[in-house]
Chains A and B, each alone.
Chain A
Amino acid sequence: MRRVRFRCPGLSTKLSRFGVLASLFMVSPVFAHGVAQGDKGYIQEVSGVHLVPFAYLGAKHMATGYDHVLFLLGVIFFLYRLKDVSVYVSLFAFGHSSTMLLGVYFGWNVSAYLVDAIIGLSVVYKGLDNLGAFRRWFGRQPNTKLAVLIFGFFHGLGLATKILEYELDPNGLVPNLLSFNVGVEIGQLVALSAILIAMGYWRRSASFQRHAYGANVLLMSAGFILVGYQLTGFFVN
């Protein structure tokens, strides 16, 4: 059995110590029976390789993760050609896959709150970018593809911190993790399809050009709320 050390912000569990130390005396503020619920509960109950369930969990995480979906919405807001959409989405996928896999495998101990605050900033950035703010303010357009890739890295770090909190069993970790990653991309495609259909209707109406500005301001606002929410969490906890 491979032993992988997890460093989790929430729970001070070090799986690598199981069976090694005779007496574990880790004080953690969990409730009496320490049994997690839902997705985390399931993950903590099973051991070994479970490819389809982990793919499902990855897809669910992405499709219901509003921070990732908001960023995706910002990225494709003014992309009308499916070819452009696929280029940008691939860059985003490459970015978040790489840091997610590395972060979980090596147990990078980063603050989930700070990473999520940066993810909120990525939404703000994309809103401003869509409004043409950087060209207006600085006279030049920052590379949009590079920005998507770099923010993709941070989104992947955010995914990694969530997976570390799930405390995956070291037994079957790598296949389960790769499967989770495949699920994340499937979930992204599902979310993207829904966004593209909704945007398709909207772009055909005259209101798209009138409200595009306001919509990107709203997007920024949502991003700022995420930043504030996560930074507050960082200082409160």
Chain B
Amino acid sequence: MYNANEPNETELPSSASLLKSTLIAFVVAAIILVTIVLPAEYAIDPTGIGSALGLTRMGEIKSQLAEEAEADAGSEINVGSVGQRVPAPPAGPPTDATPAGTAQADPAPAGEENGWRDTTEITIAPEEAIELKLVMAKGEKAAYEWDAGRGSLNFNEHGDGNGQSIEYGKGRATPSRQGELIAAFDGYHGWFWRNRSEVPVSLTLRTRGSYSEIKRTR
């Protein structure tokens, strides 16, 4: 009936060796759990081995992303109709849920410079993230360039507002970038930057074009 023979008694492990195997499996599992799984999933690293292997950082990033997602949930941005140039204030400023932390400066528009309308400089500490957004009506265009000084940043270029959202692009460890932002709908369109390097990064953003204002939303 089967595609196999019945096992001979000699082909089967003895009861004692099975018990021994189970014990070994349990001990190995406990060691792997404490030195590898807990650091990589929750950044819980009592032995320090997870850190040495580079796994604790994975756990830290996962925990941080989970906390931020929880904080972000419910901070819906409602900008009203931007086209009428009367942008309503965001319903519940998103910065309440995610304070700017140790990022060291507020947006400091330095006025016109080489044809740019706004220049914004912010220092971003390691592991910190900030967001700068242009308030734009659908179809408006803004040119931009940003650079991370001598460092590099992860970025996500996106827009949101009135329940809509769009991703224009993203990248990792990017030193600089330039381009044009075309608003897909009325709302806040701009950038999320995260410093995953070990040193503070000086971000400079220059913008021009049709937008009503530049805001720091995180």
Contacts and interface: CB of A to CB of B under 8 A. Distances in A.
Interface of A: 13, 18-19, 21-28, 30-39, 41-42, 44-48, 50-53, 56, 60, 77-78, 80-81, 129-132, 134-135, 141, 144, 169, 171, 190, 193-194, 197, 200-201, 203-204, 209, 212-213
Contacts of B128: none
Contacts of B7: 80, 203
A26 B156 CA distance: 12
* SS class, residues of chain B in contact with chain A: mixed
B12 A193 contact: no
A50 B160 CA distance: 33
Contacts, number: 151
A45 B168 contact: no
Contacts of A24: 157, 168-169, 179
Nearest to B157: A24
Given A32-B165, A78-B2, A200-B12, A25 B182 contact: yes
Contacts of B1: 131-132, 213
A217 B23 CA distance: 31
Contacts of A169: 172-173
B184 interface: yes
Given A30-B165, A200-B12, A23 B72 contact: no
B22 A25 contact: no
A20 B25 CA distance: 51
B91 to A, nearest CB: 14
B36 interface: yes
A170 to B, nearest CB: 9
A32 B18 contact: no
A53 B51 CA distance: 11
Nearest to A208: B7
A47 B156 contact: no
B105 interface: no
A34 B169 CA distance: 10
Interface of B: 1-8, 11-13, 15, 18, 21-22, 25, 32, 36, 40, 53-55, 57-58, 61-62, 65-66, 68-69, 72, 77, 154, 156-158, 160, 165-174, 177-182, 184, 192, 194, 196
B179 A46 contact: no
B18 A47 contact: no
A116 B194 CA distance: 35
B53 A132 contact: no
A77 B3 CA distance: 10
A37 B169 contact: no
Nearest to B194: A45
A197 B54 contact: no
A102 B4 CA distance: 35
Q: Which 3 A-B pairs have the closest CB atoms?
A: A78-B4, A24-B169, A47-B173
Nearest to B188: A32
Scoring A36, A37, A41 by chain B CB atoms within 10 A of each residue's CB, the highest score goes to A41
6 contacts: A18-B171, A32-B160, A41-B62, A131-B3, A200-B21, A203-B7
A127 to B, nearest CB: 11
A77 B2 CA distance: 11
Nearest to A130: B3
A44 to B, nearest CB: 7
B215 to A, nearest CB: 15
B179 to A, nearest CB: 4
Given A23-B180, A204-B15, A28 B167 contact: yes
A13 to B, nearest CB: 7
Given A18-B174, A23-B180, A24-B157, A197 B21 contact: yes
Contact of A42 (B61, B154, B181): B61
Contacts of A52: 53-55
A31 B165 CA distance: 6
Contacts of A31: 165
A197 B173 contact: no
B199 to A, nearest CB: 15
Contacts of B12: 80, 200, 203-204
Given A35-B65, A78-B3, A169-B173, 5 more contacts: A13-B170, A23-B181, A35-B68, A37-B66, A131-B1
B177 A38 contact: no
